[in-house]
Structure 1
Amino acid sequence: MGFQRSISSSSALKWLGFVTAVWVQSISGNNYTFSNYSGALKSLMNLNQLELNNLSVAKDVGKAFGILAGLASDRLPTPVILLIGCFEGLLGYGVQWLVVSRTIQPIPYWQMCIFLCMGGNSTTWMNTAVLVTCIRNFRRNRGPVSGILKGYVGLSTAIFTDLCTALFSNDPASFLVLLAVVPFAVCLTAVFFLREIPPASSAAEENEETRYFTIFNIVAVVVAVYLQSYDIIGIKTGVFSVAFASILLFLLASPIAIPFHSFIKSLNYGEQDDLEGRIQEPLLRSEIAAAEKEVIVVAAVAAEEEEKKRKKPVLGEDHTIMEAVLTVDFWVLFVSFLCGVGTGLAVMNNMGQIGLALGYTNVSIFVSMTSIWGFFGRILSGTLSEYFLKKAGTPRPLWNAASQILMAVGYILMALAVPNSLYIGSMVVGVCYGVRLAITVPTASELFGLKYYGLIYNILVLNLPLGSFLFSGLLAGFLYDAEATPTPGGGNTCVGAHCYRLIFIVMALASVIGVGLDLVLAYRTKEIYAKIHASKKSKKSGGSLS
């Protein structure tokens, strides 16, 4: 009976940890909200577009120091990593609030860059703690885990934006208070529950995981539709706004029912099977022990023979960071990731200025739309890629290739400035950027293993500051300033479709390059995905027979 209770507690704690991980991801997309307060910084500090874009680059450069979080993930417990992230975010966004709220005088440009960098880096600690822990806890359902967690990161921008609009009339200073305080409070909660727990060891447990992940997906879709409805309705004042915020918080809290259900179900199962377990346990244990011993001996002999044949790991095995970066596949994945997230991040960082250039006065709706549709890209690609991997062994990089094709089409539409192109572009860029993030996370773990996954993931995330610098800081900044006219006080402005046309064309070409690289990677990894497919299929058959 004690053994059954131990299992039930472990299962419930694993799901409780995943719920808190979802909450952390719901508030860790603050890096994508720069457009919501960039206008205030630009006017207060009298910046031109290039200087403003370099501030957004500084924010993204914080992700480059995510390597520190990756190194720490193999040495420090999850709670410590979360604490580092939440305190760093409190300081980084707290100082930005002091400036925007005019509590203090605007600080020097280089100091603002440092605090933006700190705010950006804080999310790498949160994301690393959450992703590494959850991928290890649910290692046979990596696609859904990645899709759900990255999906909530995508929704977080809309959550912050809509809550600020509902409660504070979209005030930039109030928005920065949310960015500073809410992640701090949520991470302190996760510190107590997010732990590494042994993954599922039977087909029955895996089936239970699949059912629970389906519930998480349904709740996430309801949240996304609810946020989008709020943007479309447009009633954002008074009692309606308070009711909206209350219902949103209830929806975000609702997944807490899953660990409670898991705990009660496991307890009931343990009570029903207690007598049978007492009678059969000695025999079963002896049989299992003998079988396990035989498997271990055979595996050890096979491993020893294989080690003699080769020294370097092959795809699908654990790679150290040096072994990974010396492979062609790592750099194909790295550069294709750059083509996708770099261009997408440039659009998100410049969404405020793009909207103003095309004549829109309220650009917050485009920021929110990019976030919500990014969620759909993340959650659908995670679930669908896992389904087709189990069904037909479809390589995950093919989904990246498909998203890059769609992204290139979106950039062309925005370059042509067809009617409502910014609405279409916001949705397309959001979906495709979401697919990129959700697919690359499990792909890296499947190709290079889980042992050093925290560090490998953060090496790939270097594409965020690199892409922001290349496509937002350099490309968008220089080409916008070339088209803009100076304004009194040292800034500049540009109105018209020509402001960003060349920028969109260059990013469309980069997306086409990304398509080619994704197809190459899909071809090179088709054998490892065939093995993963066969493994999943055989385990499912074994579970059915037993």
Structure 2
Amino acid sequence: MSPNVLRWFSLVALLWLQSINGTNLSFPAYSSQLKEFLSISQFKLNYLSFASDAGKVLGFISGIAAIHLPLPLVLLAGGSLGFAGYGLQYLCIVKKMFTLSFYQIWGLSFLAGNSICWINTACFIVAITGFPLNRQVAVGITASYQALSGKIYTDIVHTFFYSSQREAASGYLLLSSLVPLACCLVTAPMLMREAKAMSFSSRDVNVGFIFLFVVTIATGIYSVATSLLPVPAVLALIGIVLFLLAPLAIPSGVRLEELMSSTRSQQKVYNLEAPIEEDQKKEEEVDEKAIVGVREEVEWTKLWKRLDFWIYFGLYLFGPTVGIVFMNNLGQISESRGCAATSSLVALSSSFGFFGRLLPSLLDYFLSRNRYMPSSPVSMAVSLVAMVASFLLLLIDSDIALYVSTGMIGVFSGALTSLSVTMTAELFGTKHFGVNHNIVVGSIPIGSFAFGLFAAKVYRDGAALDGRFDGKCFGMYCFQTTLIFWGMLCSVATVLATVLYLRNRKFYSQKL
């Protein structure tokens, strides 16, 4: 198999991996049932949601491992950690095979959260090195599929496990344990780390990405439609599987074209063929020199000396992290407002998050050549302003406002996640990207704990006002103060994004 075909097979493998790697996105769908099964308070439930995010604190280990180990091994390590983290919870909580303390369950959630970092690291490195001239496009498309995870797991649970709420919760735990490991085993042989010494045919890339955009957009529209309309879960699931298989047409088409080209070249005279090979080498050289958009290479041990790093770290802490904290609390937000369709909200947020992560790639691919594409910090600032508006809209006591705001937060938090991957590479280079980005993502557990703890306190105080002893709060006031606080944090992140742009505006002007 030629390197070019393998490169596209690797990209398809990344789509599959990311589509099942967002196991934490389905947590809101069964968090209320988990709270009842374990007989824990809202504070302890917040600690469990924080545990998954806390696993990202050690995410930098996966980046270091990727420097020294083959990427398939990094991938399989991630699948194995998730298998242990969720699998042991399933055997303990659902099957009652043994008893674990709350702190032990917390540790398993931490392990499961760390597994996501290993799979992400392998995926991002393959996307960046496999398509160096189109890394925003490759990263954005593959990262967008991770937002589908909540939708995919919800459809599977509704198809096979939804006879009762308890069985639904057990289904999420079982699937989160088995599906990522199985997908890692299938895709590990398909990963290609390096794209050196190969021809980058601009025609192949353009045709491949345009086809992939069409399939991806169609997948997102289908996902949103089946989240909003009363479509049987089994039909929704079959459709998603077919859409996930559709990108295989790209490497198959490239392979067919290579076979046809090989047949034609055999009919040519050797002297006529030589200039073609020479031109191909020149094309490779030009393409290698065209790999731009990185200011400098910064080793991960020197990040803390950079002011840009601390500004960027704060930006991620007060921006994308707040969107994650909102998702962690979506089940309780929905319940407190009297909306019973929590799983539908999770699927809706997942589907719109899919478009949000894809949006930067679409804009970069079609607008960057015309110099209309805003820089990454500016795009992040715009997304953060929209996040502030979304939290303010949530203050309206209406199911419509809840659905619209959830969709908006899904879109713009997804866009922030996609943009952050590219901005890490722009600010600190690609050589140490695996470690550097995981250090930036380390802000997630800090925000998840602090901002989630604040939400739990406001929720508990609201339950006390109702005079309830079961710890449940009902009413708009349960999260009203929290929503205002989250909106203020996003406002701070907007200022930090602006500062980051002003400090690097010369670099971004040259990049354009």
TM-score (norm 2): 0.92
Deviations 1:441-476 (A, max 9, x none): 01111221111111011111112212211211x211
**Is residue 180 of structure 2 the alignment partner of residue 183 of structure 1?**
yes
**In the TM superposition, what is the alpha-carbon distance from 1:351 to its structure 2 partner?**
0.5
- Residue 260 of structure 2 is aligned with which of 255, 260, 268? 268
**TM-superposed deviation, 1:256:** 1.2
2:409 alignment partner in structure 1 = 429
Map 1:131-530; keep pairs closer than 5 Å. 131-169=124-162, 171-198=168-195, 205-236=201-232, 241-274=233-266, 276=268, 278-280=270-272, 316-392=295-371, 394-418=374-398, 420-472=400-452, 474-485=453-464, 491-530=470-509
- Secondary structure in 1 aligned to 2:455? helix
The one of 93, 106, 111 equivalent to 1:113 is: 106
C-alpha distance in 1 between matches for 2:454 and 2:268 = 69
Rounded to whole Å, the distance in 1 between the matches of 2:283 and 2:148 is 47
Query: Which structure has the greater CA radius of gyration?
Result: 1
> Quick one: structure 1 residues 50 and 291, their matched pair in 2 at CA, closer, same or farther if it must change by over 3 Å?
closer
Per-residue Cα deviation, 1:43-99 (whole angstroms, up to 9, x for no partner): 111111111001110111011111110111111110110110111111111122223
Q: Conserved in 2, the CA contact under 8 Å of 1:24 and 1:186?
A: yes
**1:440, CA displacement in angstroms?**
0.9
CA distance in 1, matches of 2:55, 2:353: 22
| Inter-partner Cα distance in structure 2 for 1:224 and 1:197 | 30
Distance in structure 2 (CA, Å) of the matches to 1:72 and 1:27: 22
Cα deviation 1:397-452 (Å, max 9, x = unaligned):
11100000000011111124355221111011101110111111011112211111
Query: Within 5 A, what are the aligned runs for 1:19-38?
Result: 19-38=12-31
Three-state SS of the structure 2 residue aligned to 1:420 is helix
Question: Kindly tell me: are residues 151 and 277 of structure 1, through their superposed partners in 2, closer, same or farther at Cα, counting changes over 3 Å?
Answer: farther
1:122 matched to 2:122? The reply is no
For residues 18 and 363 of structure 1, what CA distance do their matches in structure 2 show?
33
Q: Distance in 2 between matches of 1:511 and 1:286?
A: 53
- Whole-angstrom distance in 1 between the partners of 2:148 and 2:140: 12
Quick one: structure 1 residues 526 and 488, their matched pair in 2 at CA, closer, same or farther if it must change by over 3 Å?
A: closer
Evaluate the alpha carbon distance shift between residue 502 and residue 529 of structure 1 in structure 2; reply closer, same or farther with a 3 A threshold.
same
Alignment check: 8 A CA contact 1:12 1:262 kept: yes
Following TM superposition, where does structure 1 have runs of at least 4 consecutive aligned residues deviating by more than 6 angstroms?
Answer: 283-293, 486-490
Match of 2:47 in 1: 54
Cα distance between partner residues in 1 of 2:46 and 2:176: 20
| Structure 1 segment 23-102 matched on structure 2, within 5 A | 23-102=16-95
The whole-number CA distance in structure 2 between the counterparts of 1:347 and 1:11 is 41
Per mean C-alpha deviation after superposition, the further-off stretch among 367-376 and 323-332 is 323-332
CA shift, 1:199, in A, is: 5.4
Secondary structure of 1:74's aligned partner: helix
The separation in 2 between residues aligned to 1:192 and 1:84, in whole angstroms, is 14
What CA RMSD, in Å, does the superposition of the two structures yield over aligned residues?
2.8
Q: Deviations over 1:328-386 (max 9, x none)?
A: 22222221111112211111001010001001112111111111111111101222134
Alpha-carbon distance change, 53 to 270 in structure 1, aligned in 2, over 3 angstroms: same
Call closer, same or farther: CA 1:485–1:260 in 2, change over 3 Å: same
Q: Percent identity?
A: 29
CA contact 1:44–1:106 (8 Å) conserved in 2: no
C-alpha distance in 1 between matches for 2:175 and 2:282: 57
For structure 1, which segment, 454-463 or 516-525, has the greater mean C-alpha deviation from structure 2 after superposition? 516-525
1:289, CA displacement in angstroms? 8.8
1:516 maps to a residue whose letter is: V
Q: CA deviation at 1:147?
A: 1.4
What's the offset of the Cα at 1:167?
A: 2.8
Cα deviation for residue 267 of structure 1 reads: 2.0
8 Å contact kept, 1:341–1:467: no
**Compared with structure 1, are the counterparts of its residues 94 and 139 closer, same or farther at alpha carbon in structure 2 (3 Å cutoff)?**
same
Q: Which blocks of at least 5 consecutive residues in structure 2 are unaligned? A: none
Distance 1:277-1:477 versus aligned 2 partners, 3 A rule? farther
Q: In the TM superposition, what whole-angstrom CA distance separates every residue of 1:496-532 from its partner, at most 9, and x where no partner exists?
A: 0000000010111111111111112222222222333
Pick closer, same or farther for the CA change 1:397–1:343 going to 2, 3 Å: same
Q: Number of aligned pairs? A: 504
Q: Is the 8 A contact 2:11 2:142 kept in 1?
A: no
Letter in 1 for 2:208: Y
The alpha-carbon deviation at position 200 of structure 1 amounts to: 8.8
TM-aligned CA deviation for residue 21 of structure 1: 0.9
Offset, 1:249: 1.3
